[in-house]
Structure 1
């Protein structure tokens, strides 16, 4: 039997589930009552002749059987006597033994007819097993089921991120179904790729995780992409159903954050590969404006039909009921006192929040976390949420200015200048050299963890980062208004990545203030940047330092030109004069960008070394063209700098493609799908062959190869038919009229009353 974790449900969820189960079992309609004034009634069936059935739902997660029995005898029994129902039914999430059921039956006679009218956790689980459609109707029930969580834990090797399981668990507690879920699910079934876009804090990552959970429930393996699409290619398994999850694939606050680490051609190639596979799904998230930046900057992304793969999460998706559910779930699962939670049962408290034009789930979550950890404010928590919705910066402003120490603020500034989640080892080294007192660092992490900071384990190392992007956004604006703090930050730079991040903050979204501060302190930035070019890189895996001097040189070319800094520019040129300057390059984008920047530079010395660097770039791009993927990679990047590349290089690439295609065609004609060449590659080769010369140009029969590819694809379709069946969209339920939504939300919030 699947163990449904009833303890994860809210009180209102539990009542709604009991209502559906008992309506099905008893074959009658039950009405639900608001909490607080139920007088012993949660559900009721009333008959004209006067007979009525009363159901009492007791969602007692942390109470024992003995406590339940005492409560039912001392508190509920007098209410039952007063009601005098013809039949009284008890449903509880508490596990009941045979002895405890018999005792409860004896307490509640004659109103409880038989012990079978008492439903404990075991009986409710049995009914859920029996009525799968009811399970599917209540999304949070099946999202929270043990089978889903265990399946995700079982795939921990694939996800390689222990903190993802924790994030998913938190998501399940607070998610509220809305229209974006159905749109995204349809995209994944029709296109197999879904890019979830929207404004900060609107719920993009939440939706993505819920979609991942849906597919895990369908037998898919979950693979989290942490920083490079090549991870997907390494873990791709043709025989396994897999869903790939890539959060903020274009960066957190600006395009510069990530794209230089993931060439657009490889990303688009992977998206195409997933679209062609019936056993794969790909979920990506990004902010709308960053996606727009990427489409403007990169030709391939501009021409890609993202609109056919994108689900935009909008405020319009959050109906009154959805907003109410989001608020209720966050309050219910928060660490507020029961008294503080009960305040939200009043419409005058929850109504203005739900109807606020700036309604934002992240702000609600952050405010509640702040209120639970940093006590002392006399302002009611409901009003604080309203204030923060009106002015989002106030979520963090009060903490930073009034509730934490100067050392804690220094920790936040340290994380800001690192830009990415940083290993505790790197953070300790930085802190020791700049502050000295490691105890203050560990104390700051302890104080802020769970509100403004998050910690998690990756591999064998602990990593520290901002709790969510809104904290980074706040700290960016915080530093831009404080000249002394900004100067201290620039002086503390030790790593190239810190230079890169300061530049990204100044160049990115809402970076105007940082840009002005940077110009005002150009000399200080120049000094720190030149001292950091050859610095030890951070340890993204917690163990090994990262070095990519080609990437560093390209960034310094950009900084040197835009700041008119010859010191920074000369440092890049000095490195690029080395014969092996591109040998350790990792990204084609950097190699090609360097060539383009040198040829178009207004500086004579830069243009003078351009031809030599071009030779190195061509050698780097064409170093290994033994595979079709590598040939496409080389051809795509060479096309970017076609104005400077000799025609002979393009001709060599073309000849290599022809030779490789000929070899693959012969192998496919002989071995078919047992060939070492993939169906995807050979299909592309066939398309390529049809554009080069006439059929007699090729030694192999191109159309015969095409037929074999088609046969192999049809065979794959037959073997993966179970994976290709349309996914059952989780029923969203009938929201009914606006009045019905108002009533449902009022009943829901009413369960918070003491």
Structure 2
């Protein structure tokens, strides 16, 4: 078994050392607050009066010659002054037999035996013993990075994106500081099986979610990164019904909010969350910005009625104690690789207290101002000003790096990823990057290689992450969601840039995203949107019309169909669509709205052109719009009426089958018993049928009644044709009586040293 001590900071290593000696000696070991220890990291008593001392040196990457030199110059005098009856020395460094002999000789007579000297090999050997696993598990980072746990984590990740995600999470875990929020998040997951981390950007939602996910993956849960693909999650749920699975969704809804609600994915999301809540073998961790979740609740009655906010865990900076903040700051400093000349600026006059107590303290800001790769270009004498500027103006946190430490080509890859809704395949990014270089005024700067392969390596791990999603396929996502916030806030007035980004991407995703941004108020004002739409029409219109790319043209028109400069071309496109031979597409809802708006200028001879657009409609908004359109234009087309009847029956059948109506089948059990150990039920099928009909009547409220009559839709007949017995049987196959769970979520002990901030930062 191998343990990676490099992931621990010096304070964590001292705690580990004390725990090991306590177990070996079976004596209580006293530990003291961090800080100047006078050579004492732990103390134990031999009899009543003889004092034993433990000293830990976390010098894992320090040459042995430097270690022995420091012991001679700094530690020896301390030990002589303490004059302990027994002295135990622990280091994370590998030690040879000769090394131990030299250390024993140096500390004679206080080190009684070489067995009182513990090096890397001794620690690994001790911790690998089965009886000592409790010590390992109490030390989160050590446990997570052990070879056996890493094997378990990686082997349990669903292949593809999930495997890549969990590796990235594990690689960043060494900077994590366990705070009270970690314990609260675990408690919510244990009690509810679902937790939605919310809070403002940079508060640490993703970091907390990542490490909770890592915790459960280390406990044997399969890890599934679903990226809001609820259908994928539902499929995995069914395939692995009896297995422990942790579902993970970072930036829940995000910029897809309007798409989720318009396409009725909100009902699937709510249903899936409630399904996980009822299954103790599953866990679901989500993160969401507070503003996005608030908007979702204001727009979606399904979110309101689904009570999913009961799972919310709102992270606030105010929830972090000053000691929590001190741990976060110290951990980042320890692992920062910053030169001492920079760290001196933080320690000078105890300035770390200024950072900890700043009103804008934020884990993301701490990560930035302690990242040697991002601040290395700043002269040491300017470093403190940089920290304060970042704290005073957190919205500019990406500005310096994005605008001063990258070039136009790296920025281009970032722009393209942002406007492709935050993720893009490598093939798409390569193609759109090459197009962008040809149509946008890009400053190529020096003579270095600007090929896609060269530039993507510069962008990866600073602005973008490259994830493997298949054997030979890769996908790029933003290094951090705040990059999108920065780009959208800083470049929203540059209509030419945005136009050229969309031209380069040339896909429906980017136009959808642009539409969503205007709806979310992301600083793309109406005049800019008009200019962008005009620019895109000039660039795409003739080609897309010749290609009969109807969906693309529908979305392009839907951006702003009140724009006088594009209206004539929209009319031309609609007339071409109406006259086309069997046109097809998937954007019925937007098309019907545009047609209704342009109806005075557009003459409908017949409605054959709608047939293929209607064929595969499965969302509620499109159905409602179709019914209203049929009524408004008094459509008698038998094929369309038949399609409408089939679609409404299929749609209602699917929501009944998926139980999106939240029918409580358990209310309809008259008797539940176990003859010979097998459960049987006496089910009131008539009661279930009545509840289904009542729920559907309520659900259809707002649908165009005259069209329902015209297509001869009969609710009673529809419900009577449902296979209610099969639906009930599926439910009861997994049904168990809801007994009260007697569960102890676990106890975590720890001290809160409110007055120990100076001690945490005290240098030896």
1:182 counterpart residue number: 183
CA shift at 1:498, angstroms? 1.9
- Among 349, 352, 355, the alignment partner of 1:353 is 355
The match for 2:152 is 151
> Hey, what does 2:56 align to over in structure 1?
57
**1:318-717 to 2 correspondence within 5 Å?**
318-346=320-348, 348-369=350-371, 371-372=373-374, 375-378=377-380, 380-436=382-438, 439-459=450-470, 460-482=472-494, 484-486=496-498, 488-489=500-501, 492=504, 494-508=506-520, 510-527=521-538, 530=541, 555=555, 558-561=558-561, 566=567, 567-568=569-570, 571=573, 574=577, 578-582=609-613, 585=616, 588=619, 591-592=622-623, 594-595=625-626, 598=629, 616=643, 618-620=645-647, 622-623=649-650, 630=657, 639=700, 642-643=703-704, 645-647=707-709, 655=717, 657-664=719-726, 677-678=729-730, 680=731, 683=732, 713=736
Q: Deviations over 1:429-475 (max 9, x none)?
A: 11222315982544433333322232222212232232112111111
- Structure 2 Cα separation of the partners of residues 163 and 569 of structure 1: 47
Match of 1:731 in 2: 748
Contact 1:201–1:361 under 8 Å retained in 2: yes
TM-score between both structures, scaled by the size of structure 1? 0.78
Give the secondary-structure state (helix, strand or coil) at the position aligned to 2:90: strand
Alpha-carbon distance in 1 for matches of 2:533, 2:17 = 65
Determine which structure has greater relative contact order: mean sequence separation of CA pairs < 8 Å that are 6+ residues apart, divided by chain length: 1
Instruction: Decide whether the 8 Å contact of 2:488 with 2:523 is kept in 1.
Output: no
- Contact 1:227–1:261, Cα closer than 8 Å, also in 2: no
Which residue is 1:248 aligned to? 251
For these two proteins, the number of residue pairs brought into alignment is: 683
- In structure 2, what is the Cα distance between the partners aligned to 1:160 and 1:64? 39
CA deviation after TM superposition for structure 1 residue 123, in Å: 4.0
1:649 deviates by 6.9
1:243 counterpart SS class: strand
> How far has the Cα of 1:192 moved from its partner?
1.7
**Pairing of 1:266-281 with structure 2 (within 5 A):** 266-281=268-283
Write the distance in 2 (CA, Å) between the matches of 1:405 and 1:625. 53
Q: Displacement of 1:378 after TM fit?
A: 5.0
Deviations 1:694-724 (A, max 9, x none): xxxxxxxxxxxxxxx69x626xx99xx9xx8
SS at 2:612 equivalent: coil
Quickly say closer, same or farther: Cα 1:230–1:160, change in 2 above 3 A: same
- CA deviation map 1:3-23 (0-9, x unaligned): 443221111111122234435
Does the CA-based 8 Å contact 2:9-2:334 persist in structure 1? yes
- Residues 469 and 409 (structure 1), Cα distance of their counterparts in 2 relative to 1, 3 Å cut: same
Bigger shift: 436-445 or 16-25? 436-445
1:72/1:208 CA distance change after superposition, 3 Å: same
Which residue matches 2:665? Answer: none
Q: What is residue 592 of structure 2 aligned with on the other side? A: none
In the alignment, the residues of structure 2 paired with residue 16 and residue 609 of structure 1 have an alpha-carbon distance, to the nearest angstrom, of: 79
Q: Tell me the SS of whatever aligns to 1:157.
A: coil
Partner of 2:755 in structure 1?
A: 742
Distance 1:636 1:207 in 2: 43
Specify whether residues 371 and 433 from structure 1 end up closer, same or farther in structure 2 by C-alpha distance, changes over 3 A only: closer
Contact kept in structure 1, 2:417 and 2:477, CA below 8 Å: yes
- Report the equivalent of 1:193: 194
**Partner residue in 2 for 1:700:** none
Instruction: Return 5+ residue gaps in structure 1 as ranges.
Output: 537-546, 669-676, 684-708
Structure 1 Cα separation of the partners of residues 636 and 562 of structure 2: 20
The 1:637/1:455 distance shift into structure 2, 3 A limit, reads: farther
How far is 1:299 from its partner?
Answer: 1.9
After the TM superposition, which of the residue ranges 198-207 and 433-442 deviates more from structure 2?
433-442
Q: 1:196 to 1:115 in 2, by over 3 A?
A: same
Q: Distance in 2 between matches of 1:341 and 1:262?
A: 52
Using the TM superposition, give the Cα deviation of residue 190 of structure 1 relative to its aligned residue in structure 2, in angstroms.
2.5
Q: 1:249 to 1:619 in 2, by over 3 A?
A: farther
Cα contact 1:496–1:535 (8 A) shared by 2 = no
CA 1:267 to 1:417, structure 2 compared with 1: closer, same or farther past 3 Å?
A: closer
- Rounded to whole Å, the distance in 2 between the matches of 1:95 and 1:569 is 77
Q: Distance in 2 between matches of 1:730 and 1:158?
A: 34
1:204 equivalent to 2:227? Answer no
Distance between the aligned counterparts of 1:179 and 1:535, measured in 2?
61
- State the alpha-carbon separation in 2 of the partners of residues 349 and 516 from structure 1: 47
Three-state SS of the structure 2 residue aligned to 1:188 is: helix
CA distance, structure 2, for counterparts of residue 76 and residue 116 of structure 1: 19
What SS does the aligned partner of 1:433 have?
A: helix
- Please say which of residues 629-638 and 329-338 is displaced more in the overlay: 629-638
Q: Which residue of 1 aligns with 2:604?
A: none
- Alpha-carbon distance between aligned partners in 1 of 2:506 and 2:92, rounded to the nearest angstrom: 55
Select between 332-341 and 584-593 the one with higher mean Cα deviation. Answer: 584-593
1:454 and 1:370 map into 2 onto residues whose CA distance is 19
* Paired residues of 1:628 and 1:660 also in contact (CA < 8 A): no
CA–CA distance in structure 1, aligned partners of residues 618 and 384 of structure 2: 49
CA distances 1:285-327 after superposition (whole Å, capped 9, x unpaired)? 2111211211221221121212322111111221111111111
In structure 2, what is the Cα distance between the partners aligned to 1:414 and 1:103? 60
Whether the aligned pair in 2 keeps the contact of 1:216 and 1:222 (CA below 8 Å) is yes
**Alignment correspondent of 2:16:** 17
Query: For 2:367 and 2:549, how far apart are their aligned partners in 1?
Result: 38
Q: 1:111-126, aligned counterparts within 5 Å?
A: 111-125=110-124, 126=126
Within the alignment, does 1:291 sit opposite 2:293 as a pair? yes
Q: In the alignment, does 2:118 pair up with 1:105?
A: no
What is the rounded CA distance, in whole Å, between the counterparts of 1:64 and 1:447 in structure 2? Answer: 32
Task: Tell me, yes or no, if the aligned pair for 1:548 and 1:585 is still in contact at 8 Å.
Answer: no
Report the secondary structure of 1:163's partner residue: helix
- TM-fit CA distance, 1:141: 3.7
Tell me if structure 2 keeps the 8 A contact 1:174–1:329. yes
Cα offset, 1:240, TM superposition: 0.9
Give 1:330 shift.
Answer: 1.9
Q: 1:96 to 1:614 in 2, by over 3 A?
A: farther
**What is the distance in 1 between the residues matched to 2:17 and 2:553?**
64
Deviation at 1:283, TM superposition (A): 1.6
What CA distance in whole angstroms lies between the structure 2 residues aligned with 1:316 and 1:440?
Answer: 46
The Cα RMSD (Å) is: 4.1
Q: Secondary structure at the match of 1:321?
A: helix
Asked whether 1:310 is paired with 2:312, we answer yes
Q: TM-score, normalised by structure 2?
A: 0.77
1:191–1:156 Cα change, 3 Å: closer
Shift, 1:410, TM fit? 3.0
